[in-house]
Structure 1
C-alpha cells in the first residue's frame, strides 16, 4: 500500500496491535501464551486481540466465581483448573455474560456477543485438548446459542439523496464558528460520504487510504482488505468528482503533522482521520435524515451492496466488490432483499370491496 519509502497506516496500526496483544497477555496464565503463538500463522492480529478480550472475560469469571481461585490472580489459573470444569460451569458462564459487573463497571452481551465468546473458548480448549494437555473439554457439550437473523438496515434511494444534499448544503443554515467549521470540512465530508455510497468500502479501508492509493487514470483505489489482502476497487464519475474537488481544493491547503503526510483524509488536527471521527460524522448527518434507523459507516456499505444487487442481480459481483470471502455471506444479506414485493403485499388484500 502506498509507496515503499514510508510506513503505511496498516504497518503502524499492526505494530500498535502487536504491542496491545503483548500488554493483554501480561496478566494471562503462562500456558495461554502457547495458544496465541499456535494460532498466529492462521489468524490476523485483530482476531487474536479479539480472542484475548474474550478469554480475559472468561478468566475474570473464574476468579470471581470459582472458590478455589479466591484471592488469586488471572496469572495463577492453571490448566488443571480448566480440565476440572464441567458443562454446567460453562453454562453458568454464558448466563453470567448476559449482565455482569467487574471492577465497578457493568457489562452486557447480546446473543452474538455470547456466541462469539463461547466460540473463542471452544477454540482455546481445543488447542490444549489436541495436544493432550487436558483430557476434558466441557465447551463441546454446551450448545452454541442460537443466532437470529438481523434485518439489514440501509438507506433507501430518497434518503441517500437527502443525505448527500445535507452534506453539501448544511452550511446554509449555520452561522459563526459552526459555519466556518462546516465550510472547512465540506469537500472532505462530501468525498467521504460519496466514497462510501459509491464503492461500499469499509470504514477501516477508508481511514487507511493514502494519496498514493488513488489512481484517477483507471478510476480506482487500492485498499487493504481484512486479513491483509490488497485489492483495487473501481469508482464512478460522482466519486471521481468528489475526490478531485477535495484533493485539489481542500487537501492541497492542509499542512499535515509529521508522520501524516501521505494520508488522504485529515481530521481538523491535521492528522489522518480516525475510524471514530468518521463514525461520529456519519452519525451526525444521518441522524438528521432518519431517526428511525441507526446509520453507521457499515450501514452505508450495506446501502451500496443493496443498490448494486438490485441493479445487477449478480450476487457474485456484489461479493467480489464488497470483499466477502464467502459468497454465502453475501447471499444471506442481499439475495433475500425483496422490499418491493413486501411493499406490494400491503395493497394485495382488500378488506372491503
Structure 2
C-alpha cells in the first residue's frame, strides 16, 4: 500500500522527480553538482537551479559554434573554464528578453537576473572549490542592483471590506455566486487565517486537520526550509476555523487527501494556485488600485502587528523571517506615517 505523506514531504518527492527529469537534458556533470548541494538547499531551490541551468546551457549551445552540434547532455565540464566574465554579462543581458526553442517569449527583471547569476555563482563555486575547474568568472560579475518597490498592503477598512465580501458575495457574478454558496465558509476561514496569522500560502495549504490545536489556539506549520513551528491565532480566526471544521466533518475527501484541512470542490487538498485565485477574485471586488496576492495579506499582517506591538523582532519571529531586515519592509508604511506627522511638530512662529 502506498505511503500517505504529508503535503510538504510530498512536495519534496515531486520536486526530486522533476529534477531527475531535468537532469536528462542537462550536462552530465550537473548530477554531481546537485548531489553536492542537496544537504544545504531545499528541493524548491534545486528545481529553480535546474531550470536556470537549462536556460544557460541552451544559450551556450546557441551562441557557441563549437557546441552547435553537441548534445547538451554531452557538454563537458571544461566548457566552464572557457566561459569568460564578459560571456556571462552578455548572457545576463540576453535574459532581459529572449525567445525559446518553442517560440515562447521570456523576460527577466532584476530579481530574475539576480537569481540566475546566483545559480551560476553556486555552480562555479562548487567545481572551483573541488579543483575541477581553474577559473571562476561568475564570482567577478556584479549582481544587479535591486530597486525596492513599494510594499502593497491592505488598509484597515479594506481588510474589513474584503472579509465582508467573502461572507456576502454581493458583488460576485451569478455564476460566481453559485459556487460561493458551496465555498463561502471555507473561503472565510482561509482569508481570516491568512490575515490573522501572516502565514505563507504554501504553509496554509499544507495544514492538516490534526495540526489545529484549539486548546492552545495554535496551528503547527512547516516553514520554508522545512522547520516546524506553531503559529497562534486570535478569537476571530478561531471562530472562522470552527465554522469551517464543522462543515469539513461532513466532507469525504478523495483518497490521499483525507488529512487535508482545506479542500477544493473536487474534495482534494487545495493548491497554492487555487488560493492565489481565491484571493485575486475577492480582492478585485474591493480595490481596483491594488494588486492583492496572498503575500500582500502577509504584508498587511506584518504591518498591523508592528503597529500594535512596536517590536520588530517579534514580528520577524512570528512571520518566520531569518533576517530582521526582511521584516523591516513590513513596517515601512508606519515609518512613513511618523514622518508625515513630524511635518507639524516644529513651529516656526507662535500662534
Fold shared per TM-score above 0.5: yes
Distance 2:171 2:136 in 1: 63
Question: Per the alignment, in what secondary structure is the counterpart of residue 232 of structure 1?
Answer: strand
Q: 1:265 aligns with which of 250, 262, 268?
A: 262
Asked if structure 2 preserves the Cα contact closer than 8 Å seen for 1:263 and 1:272, the reply is: yes
Residue 297 of structure 1 is matched in structure 2 by: 294
5 Å-filtered alignment, 1:54-203, equals 54-103=52-101, 104-171=103-170, 175=174, 178-203=176-201
Instruction: Tell me which moved more, 339-348 or 69-78.
Output: 339-348
Q: 2:283 aligns with which of 275, 283, 286?
A: 286
Asked if structure 2 preserves the Cα contact closer than 8 Å seen for 1:207 and 1:265, the reply is: yes
How far did 1:171 drift? 4.6
Cα deviation digits, residues 226-274 of structure 1 (max 9, x gap): 11100000000000000000111x2122121111111100101110011
How far did 1:127 drift? 0.7
Asked if structure 2 preserves the Cα contact closer than 8 Å seen for 1:171 and 1:182, the reply is: no
Give structure 2 stretches of 5+ with no counterpart.
347-351
Instruction: Tell me which moved more, 260-269 or 69-78.
Output: 69-78
Residue 308 of structure 1 is matched in structure 2 by: 305
Question: Per the alignment, in what secondary structure is the counterpart of residue 18 of structure 2?
Answer: helix
How far did 1:150 drift? 1.7
Question: Per the alignment, in what secondary structure is the counterpart of residue 162 of structure 1?
Answer: helix
How far did 1:138 drift? 1.3
5 Å-filtered alignment, 1:325-336, equals 325-334=322-331
Question: Per the alignment, in what secondary structure is the counterpart of residue 230 of structure 2?
Answer: strand
Distance 2:172 2:131 in 1: 68
Asked if structure 1 preserves the Cα contact closer than 8 Å seen for 2:219 and 2:232, the reply is: yes
Distance 1:348 1:293 in 2: 32
- Residue 84 to residue 178, structure 1, CA distance change in 2 (3 Å): closer
Asked if structure 2 preserves the Cα contact closer than 8 Å seen for 1:315 and 1:335, the reply is: no
Asked if structure 1 preserves the Cα contact closer than 8 Å seen for 2:300 and 2:330, the reply is: no
Q: CA RMSD in A?
A: 2.0
- Residue 77 to residue 168, structure 1, CA distance change in 2 (3 Å): same
Residue 221 of structure 1 is matched in structure 2 by: 219
How far did 1:72 drift? 2.4
Asked if structure 1 preserves the Cα contact closer than 8 Å seen for 2:303 and 2:333, the reply is: no
How far did 1:336 drift? 6.7
Number of residue pairs the alignment of both structures matches: 344
How far did 1:347 drift? 8.3
Alignment TM-score, normalising by the size of structure 2: 0.93
Distance 1:128 1:174 in 2: 57
Distance 2:129 2:333 in 1: 40
Cα deviation digits, residues 294-345 of structure 1 (max 9, x gap): 1100100010000001110100100110011122221344357423235558
Asked if structure 2 preserves the Cα contact closer than 8 Å seen for 1:100 and 1:107, the reply is: yes
Question: Per the alignment, in what secondary structure is the counterpart of residue 27 of structure 1?
Answer: coil
Asked if structure 2 preserves the Cα contact closer than 8 Å seen for 1:210 and 1:264, the reply is: yes
How far did 1:60 drift? 1.1
5 Å-filtered alignment, 1:222-241, equals 222-241=220-239
Asked if structure 2 preserves the Cα contact closer than 8 Å seen for 1:9 and 1:208, the reply is: yes
Instruction: Tell me which moved more, 283-292 or 91-100.
Output: 283-292
Cα deviation digits, residues 136-178 of structure 1 (max 9, x gap): 1111221111111121111010110110111111158664x54
- The runs of at least 4 consecutive aligned structure 1 residues that moved more than 4 Å come to 171-175, 342-349
Asked if structure 2 preserves the Cα contact closer than 8 Å seen for 1:129 and 1:137, the reply is: yes
